[in-house]
Copies of this chain bind each other. A is one copy, B any other.
Amino acid sequence: MSMDDVFKALADESRRTLLDRLHARNGQTLGDLCEGLAMSRQAVTKHLAILEAANLVATRRQGREKLHFLNPVPINDIAERWIGKFERDRLAALSDLKRQLESDDHE
Contacts and interface: CB of A to CB of B under 8 A. Distances in A.
Given A4-B13, A79-B79, A72 B91 contact: yes
Interface residues of A, number: 30
Interface stretch (A40-48, A60-68, A82-90): A82-90
A12 B75 CA distance: 16
A73 B91 contact: yes
Given A75-B78, A78-B79, 16 more contacts: A4-B13, A10-B11, A10-B78, A20-B81, A23-B81, A23-B82, A72-B82, A72-B87, A73-B91, A75-B81, A76-B79, A76-B91, A76-B92, A77-B95, A79-B79, A80-B95
Interface of A: 4, 7-8, 10-13, 16, 19-20, 23, 70, 72-73, 75-83, 85, 87-88, 91-92, 95-96
